[in-house]
Amino acid sequence: MTSCSRCDAVCCRLTVVLQPEDHVPSHLTTRTPAGLHVMARDEEGWCVALDGARMNCGIYQTRPDVCRRFVMSGPYCRAVRTDYLDMRKKGIPLTVE
């Protein structure tokens, strides 16, 4: 069972497609080659809104709607975290395209 107290904020590595009703500062966003408006990521693949020192969202109060719907310790959260931990164990690089 996954413990939220040891959360690796793996959801902050997912592609977050922004919707028109999301009010995220433009310096935190980018466009994909396909033209999707998404949260930007740093060189290691983490969402640029992630506060790496505390492993929490730096724009929590104004985070995108899709992030608000991501249920902590829900089935999708646990599946994403399991995949992430499996990749780390296997030594697979965790980079973004």
47-59 pLDDT, tens digit each: 999 988 887 889 9
- Give the span between the Cα atoms of 59 and 40, in whole angstroms: 13
CB 57 within 8 A of CB 63: yes
Residue 73 neighbours by CB distance under 10 Å: 12
Q: pTM of the entire structure?
A: 0.77
30-47 pLDDT, tens digit each: 999 999 999 999 998 899
* Structure-token pair, residue 27: 């310096």
Q: What pLDDT sits at residue 93?
A: 65
Is residue 62 pLDDT above 80, yes or no? yes
Q: How confident is the prediction for the chain on average, in pLDDT?
A: 85
